[in-house]
């Protein structure tokens, strides 16, 4: 089940940094003609298209119907499928699994890792990036504090997203037969669009499941309070900077024997 109803229009306009930053992950993936690649959590399909442009065959999957519909509109010639990343299978294994800015939304992470490992041929590679340990901590802390300060019902807050450390995620991958070859956790301070409204826009995009449950006056009060709390930390000159931290992993599917010996 998707965690929220995505708005593909907003996602493609004000939040295009999500896939623009992902373009160097495509370089790391290094797709080649003749390879088959799976893009997990493909959203509106911009990086799926970037992979296809390099000559590889590509399948994009996402659990949001809105996103898949938009991806198909953007690139009708590509293979986009509505699939749950924790419960899917492919007829034929792929040479690589790719995922950008999606795996922090997907729970349980072990199930997603197992499906991704199963989709890979032995020796095939996993190249993924998503929010890592400490990602958007200032924003999330400010949201929680604002909810408490305004005495709102804190059950409106969603389950925390999955932002693992290197050690934690390496353990998850190892368990499903994927050997980690490189892992990097790094800060990626991310400028938000739309000047003073940038943080509101970001929250409206990614925390709509909270904001949509509040009457308009409470929603405004919450946004104002979050802005006040974050102004000293994340406001620079004329725009907001989101405190993103990324976990970037390259791993390889082990042969079943190697996977068992590694346990």
In angstroms, give the least distance from the CB of 210 to ligand BEZ: 11
Nearer to ligand BEZ, 131 or 177 (CB): 131
Per CB under 6 A, residues contacting ligand BEZ are: 101, 104, 131, 135-136, 161, 206, 244
In angstroms, give the least distance from the CB of 242 to ligand BEZ: 8
In angstroms, give the least distance from the CB of 251 to ligand BEZ: 20
In angstroms, give the least distance from the CB of 140 to ligand BEZ: 7
Nearer to ligand BEZ, 122 or 160 (CB): 160
Nearer to ligand BEZ, 112 or 259 (CB): 112
Nearer to ligand BEZ, 63 or 135 (CB): 135
Tell me, letter by letter, the H, E, C secondary structure of the chain. Answer: CCCCCCCHHHHHHCCCHHHHCCHHHHHHHCCCCCCEEEEECCCCCHHHHHHHHCCCEEEEEECCHHHHHHHHHHCCCCEEEECCCCCCCCCCCEEEEEEECCHHHCCCHHHHHHHHHHHEEEEEEEEEEEECCCCCHHHHHHHHHHHHHCCCCHHHCCCCCCCCCHHHHHHHHHHCCEEEEEEEEEEEEEECCCHHHHHHHHHHHHCHHHHCCCCHHHHHHHHHHHHHHHHHHHEECCEEEEEEEEEEEEEEECCHHHHHHCC
């Amino acid at each position: 089940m998707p965690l929220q109803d995505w708005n593909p229009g907003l996602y493609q306009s004000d939040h295009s940094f999500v896939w623009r930053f992902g373009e160097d992950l495509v370089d790391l993936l290094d797709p080649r003609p003749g390879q088959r690649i799976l893009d997990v959590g493909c959203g509106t399909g911009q990086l799926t298209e970037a992979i296809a442009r390099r000559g590889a065959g590509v399948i994009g999957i996402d659990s949001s119907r809105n996103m898949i519909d938009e991806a198909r509109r953007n690139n009708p010639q590509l293979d986009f499928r509505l699939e749950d990343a924790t419960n899917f299978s492919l007829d034929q294994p792929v040479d690589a699994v790719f995922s950008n800015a999606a795996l922090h939304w997907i729970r349980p992470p072990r199930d997603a890792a197992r499906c991704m490992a199963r989709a890979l041929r032995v020796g095939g590679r996993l190249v993924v990036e998503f929010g890592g340990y400490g990602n958007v901590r200032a924003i999330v802390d400010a949201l929680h504090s604002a909810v408490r300060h305004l005495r709102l019902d804190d059950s409106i807050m969603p389950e925390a997203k999955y932002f693992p450390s290197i050690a934690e995620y390496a353990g998850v991958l190892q368990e499903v037969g994927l050997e980690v070859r490189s892992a990097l956790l790094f800060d990626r301070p991310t400028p938000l669009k739309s000047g003073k409204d940038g943080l509101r826009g970001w929250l409206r995009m990614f925390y709509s499941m909270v904001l949509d449950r509040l009457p308009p006056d409470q929603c405004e009060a919450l946004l104002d309070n979050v802005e006040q709390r974050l102004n000293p930390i994340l406001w620079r000159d004329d725009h907001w900077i989101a405190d993103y931290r990324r976990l970037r992993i390259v791993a390889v599917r082990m042969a079943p024997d190697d996977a068992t010996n590694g346990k």
